[in-house]
Amino acid sequence: NKKQSRQANSETISIFIPYVWVLGPLGKMKINYLCVFQDFDLASIYVSDAQYNRNIYFDTSPEAVRLYLRYNHWLAKVLLYFFILVDLSLALFEEPAVLPLPIWATMLVELLCLLVFTIRLAHYAKVIPRDKFWKDPKNICIIVILLLTLVDMIIYGALKATNCYGVRWSRVLRPLLLVNVTEGRQLRRAFRSIRNALPQIFYVFLLFMFSLLMFSLMALKLLGKRGLKTIDGAPYFTNYLEIVFDLYVLVTTANSPDVMMPAYNSSFVFAIFFILYILINTYIFMSVFLAVVYNNYKKYLKEEVRQLVRAKRHKMARAFAVLQEHREEGGQPVVSQANWNQMVRLVQPDISNAHRELLWSVADDKNQGKVAFVQLVDLLNIEVITLKSRPHPLQSACPALYLSAPSRLLCRLVQHRAFVIVYDLIILVNAVFIGLDEENPMVSNSEWVFLALYLLEILLKLYVFEPKAFFSRHSFWNWFDTIIVVSALIATIINSAMKSSNRQILDIVFILRVLRLIRVVDSIKRFRAIINTLIRIGPAILTFGQLIIVVYYIFAMVGMELFKGKVKFFEEDSTDPDKAFCGNTDLKGTAFAQLNYCKNNFNNVVSSFILLVELTVVNQWHDILYLNASRTPDRGFVAVTHVSARIFFILFHIMVVIIIINIFVAFVLEAFFVEYSVDKSDLQTSLERKIEELELAVEHVGIVVFPGYRTVDALLQRMFEADLDPEDFAENDDPDGNFANPTFSSA
């Protein structure tokens, strides 16, 4: 392996062995080597746990430490998430299926998944002390989920074997695995913050419901006896429960202004009633919901992050205790640079020497004691890009040509601001050409011109800039450009090579062409700032993605059991007479059928997810549910099942729209405020100051501090940094706290 041998050549053999060992923990290796580096292993585990905020009580016996390193191996994690994904996507193949598979096939795959989860759990049980394992609700949860799933599979298999009707009810438990695996830290935190906000939300919700009930009562009294009719000719506002539902839907604005029109047509005075209702319930109450959710979110997150930071420092203090040495009698304990280097190499094997030296000098600058050491973990979380400012390969290969006057003029031209402007103009012209009809031969041929121009741009840049620097890990736009242009070239060639143009390839070509235009955003500084903030909060948004998937999955499973097959979708060219009412006579002449909503059904997991997205967006949900009481009452999902089906949809609305979407908005707000108010954290600036100081000392090495954070926790910590005391090590913590290692503290 090339990388390893390079490392082995440049470093001593004593570094080589743990490095290989970290890379290959799943392989077998001799224990006797490990004893030599026991201290460094333990210290590096503490540091890496601190870096990734893992709060796991592992045993400190060499056996357990080895197992723990394997437990944290990236391959094990990828495998775990792969099998969770497989388990979740089984819903595609189970009845009601997108692609039906026989029951034995899905059952076998599910059994395999269960086996993998059991092995993972058993591995975990070996890493941490027995009593800690049984005290952790996560583990109990997983065991219960696994057992219930097994029981359900047996019952379902037996029922199917005897041709009875069976329900795979344990499917709703599947997404809970995402929450309860040890890696689901962010997700658990999000759920905790929801749980903590619930009491306050509940009181506001009660008040909101009270307001809703009062307005409904008033509407019943004012409008019920006037003999008004809806546009369908049904009586308007005569049934109290229907009014409550209609006004609840009005809060989401989905049936505005339809629900108001009959009253407004009778007299404009009634419009005041509805305007007042919307002002109070839609604008004020919904803002109050956001305020309550946001406030609680901030409050509890702050507390959680505070604990997280204390746990982190605690672990770093442990690592320090392992590595420390007393330079003089009675002096402060310190960590020597040799130990430091060894430990940093273990924690982050791919770190460059320059970067490591920089970290040491920042830490060394203050003192070599504990405080500086504890900061190491924060320093590691700051992204530093090491750019070797080496000469261009062409310059080394053919210096005469590369340094000639025309070549240097070309370099100056490419680096000039005008070059960027010219290419931005080309992109704009390209946008116009894309908008034109591509069947015109002039337009379709112009595509080749644009492709050639874009390729030329990339080649020119490669001529001017050092290729490794051009394609460094953080040159997002360079990667973006190259990938898009090269794929567009390949797709366009394939497309024109084929005689009859293939629709799919053409689609890809179109998408690539349009994506190419996005590049123009990067040229404008103001836009870049906003885009960078969005990209930076991207990973945290993924946590919300998981949250949404957990909730959607559960609702989709329940919805499929309740509503599958009630509404049928017929293809465009079908001549089935049932097409006009989605295959359900209850839907004859309803808005649902008229608006061609037949595909909005729970007939498989994909449709269910898309329907749930539509319900999240809220608009027309009364039509989707055909629940609009102001037209003829009780049709659709409610007609084909029961009025109580509304409870399912209202629960979904409260859960997703009122709680989760508000937490999402709260998070985006908070992240933007942090980006606006603090540009760089203290540590980052001290790192940059150091880089400036060292400029002359570290020769031929360009280091750039990237103002980003490697982990979501680092972003969260930054949000609440101001309130944290850097000297707080949490050393006197209760040993039962869930981050201390009890066996170590007795050693």
Residues 373-432, interacting with a copy of itself (CB under 8 A): 431
Structure-token match 């898009």, residue found: 484
Give the residue among 690, 12, 702 at the shortest CA–CA distance from 338: 12
Query: Which residue among 161, 284, 425, 459 contacts a copy of itself (CB under 8 A)?
Result: 284
Q: Determine the Cα–Cα distance for residues 39 and 335; give it in Å rounded to an integer.
A: 13
Residue 486 binds a copy of itself, judged by CB under 8 A: no
Nearest-approach distance from CB 512 to a copy of itself, in angstroms: 10
Distances (CA, A) of 263 to 111, 226, 275, 303: 59, 9, 12, 50
What is the β-pairing status of strands 701-709 and 325-326?
unpaired
Query: Which residue among 214, 409, 413, 449 contacts a copy of itself (CB under 8 A)?
Result: 214
Residue 210 binds a copy of itself, judged by CB under 8 A: yes
Contact 667, 547 (CB under 8 A): no
Residue 654 binds a copy of itself, judged by CB under 8 A: no
Distances (CA, A) of 595 to 483, 581, 621: 41, 10, 13
Structure-token match 């201290």, residue found: 39
Residue 276 binds a copy of itself, judged by CB under 8 A: no
Residue 258 binds a copy of itself, judged by CB under 8 A: yes
Query: Which residue among 90, 323, 354, 624 contacts a copy of itself (CB under 8 A)?
Result: 624
User: Which phi and psi angles does 587 have, rounded to 5°?
Assistant: -95, 5
Select 160 or 568, whichever has its Cβ closest to a copy of itself: 568
Query: Which residue among 585, 673, 679, 693 contacts a copy of itself (CB under 8 A)?
Result: 673
Classify the phi-psi angles of 601: left when phi > 0, otherwise alpha if psi is within -120 to 50, otherwise beta: beta
Select 107 or 520, whichever has its Cβ closest to a copy of itself: 520
Contact 691, 362 (CB under 8 A): no
Contact 339, 41 (CB under 8 A): no
Q: How many CA atoms lie within 13 Å of 104's alpha carbon, on the beta-carbon side? A: 1
Residue 268 binds a copy of itself, judged by CB under 8 A: yes
Q: Determine the Cα–Cα distance for residues 74 and 78; give it in Å rounded to an integer.
A: 6
Residue 254 binds a copy of itself, judged by CB under 8 A: yes
Nearest-approach distance from CB 108 to a copy of itself, in angstroms: 27
Residue 661 binds a copy of itself, judged by CB under 8 A: yes
Query: Which residue among 109, 489, 669, 683 contacts a copy of itself (CB under 8 A)?
Result: 669
The site string for a copy of itself over 566-605 (x = CB under 8 A, - otherwise) reads ---x--x---------------------xxxxxxx-----
Q: In terms of C-beta density within 10 A (0-12 exposed, 13-18 middle, 19 or more buried), how is residue 696 classed?
A: exposed
Select 176 or 280, whichever has its Cβ closest to a copy of itself: 280
Helix (H) or strand (E) holding 709: strand 701-709
Nearest-approach distance from CB 604 to a copy of itself, in angstroms: 10
Query: Which residue among 28, 526, 734, 736 contacts a copy of itself (CB under 8 A)?
Result: 526
Residue 606 binds a copy of itself, judged by CB under 8 A: yes
Query: Which residue among 5, 61, 265, 396 contacts a copy of itself (CB under 8 A)?
Result: 265
Contact 315, 378 (CB under 8 A): no
Question: In this structure, what token pair is assigned to residue 144?
Answer: 């219960």
Q: Determine the Cα–Cα distance for residues 639 and 385; give it in Å rounded to an integer.
A: 62
Q: Determine the Cα–Cα distance for residues 706 and 130; give it in Å rounded to an integer.
A: 43
3-class SS at 562?
helix
Nearest-approach distance from CB 219 to a copy of itself, in angstroms: 9
Q: Of the ranges 177-185, 189-197, 307-315, 516-524, which one interacts with a copy of itself (CB under 8 A)?
A: 516-524
Q: Of the ranges 20-28, 284-292, 331-339, 651-659, which one interacts with a copy of itself (CB under 8 A)?
A: 284-292
3-class SS at 488?
helix
Nearest-approach distance from CB 627 to a copy of itself, in angstroms: 15
Q: Which of residues 5-64 bind a copy of itself (CB under 8 A)?
A: none
The amino acid present at 676, given as its one-letter code, is Y
Residue 441 binds a copy of itself, judged by CB under 8 A: no
Query: Which residue among 108, 167, 217, 535 contacts a copy of itself (CB under 8 A)?
Result: 217
Q: Determine the Cα–Cα distance for residues 314 and 654; give it in Å rounded to an integer.
A: 40
Select 466 or 675, whichever has its Cβ closest to a copy of itself: 675
Q: How many CA atoms lie within 13 Å of 640's alpha carbon, on the beta-carbon side? A: 21
Nearest-approach distance from CB 198 to a copy of itself, in angstroms: 14
Select 314 or 513, whichever has its Cβ closest to a copy of itself: 513
Nearest-approach distance from CB 269 to a copy of itself, in angstroms: 9
Q: Of the ranges 126-134, 403-411, 609-617, 714-722, which one interacts with a copy of itself (CB under 8 A)?
A: 609-617
Q: Which residues are paired to 229 by β-bridges?
A: 235
Query: Which residue among 531, 678, 694, 724 contacts a copy of itself (CB under 8 A)?
Result: 531
Residue 507 binds a copy of itself, judged by CB under 8 A: yes
Residue 550 binds a copy of itself, judged by CB under 8 A: no
Residue 292 binds a copy of itself, judged by CB under 8 A: yes
Peptide bond into 257 cis (omega under 30): yes
Select 149 or 607, whichever has its Cβ closest to a copy of itself: 607
Q: Which of residues 144-163 bind a copy of itself (CB under 8 A)?
A: none
Question: In this structure, what token pair is assigned to residue 213?
Answer: 């009930």
Q: Determine the Cα–Cα distance for residues 51 and 316; give it in Å rounded to an integer.
A: 9
Residue 105 binds a copy of itself, judged by CB under 8 A: no
3-class SS at 267?
coil
Nearest-approach distance from CB 584 to a copy of itself, in angstroms: 17
Residue 519 binds a copy of itself, judged by CB under 8 A: no
Q: Of the ranges 85-93, 169-177, 504-512, 550-558, which one interacts with a copy of itself (CB under 8 A)?
A: 504-512
Residue 233 binds a copy of itself, judged by CB under 8 A: no
**Could you tell me how many residues of this chain bind a copy of itself (CB under 8 A)?**
84
Residue 607 binds a copy of itself, judged by CB under 8 A: yes
Select 48 or 604, whichever has its Cβ closest to a copy of itself: 604
Helix (H) or strand (E) holding 269: helix 269-277
Q: Of the ranges 37-45, 219-227, 492-500, 730-738, which one interacts with a copy of itself (CB under 8 A)?
A: 219-227
Query: Which residue among 150, 290, 411, 698 contacts a copy of itself (CB under 8 A)?
Result: 290
Helix axes 476-497, 441-464, angle to 10 degrees: 140
Distances (CA, A) of 392 to 406, 420, 462, 467, 472: 16, 22, 9, 8, 14
Nearest-approach distance from CB 448 to a copy of itself, in angstroms: 17
Beta strands in 262-401 (DSSP E): 325-326, 333-334, 382-388
Q: In terms of C-beta density within 10 A (0-12 exposed, 13-18 middle, 19 or more buried), how is residue 95 classed?
A: middle
Q: Which of residues 701-730 bind a copy of itself (CB under 8 A)?
A: none
Select 111 or 542, whichever has its Cβ closest to a copy of itself: 542
Residue 505 binds a copy of itself, judged by CB under 8 A: no
- DSSP assignment string, 388-439: E-PPPHHHHH-HHHHTSHHHHHHHHHHHSHHHHHHHHHHHHHHHHHHHS-TT
Contact 356, 372 (CB under 8 A): no
Q: Of the ranges 176-184, 393-401, 508-516, 556-564, which one interacts with a copy of itself (CB under 8 A)?
A: 508-516
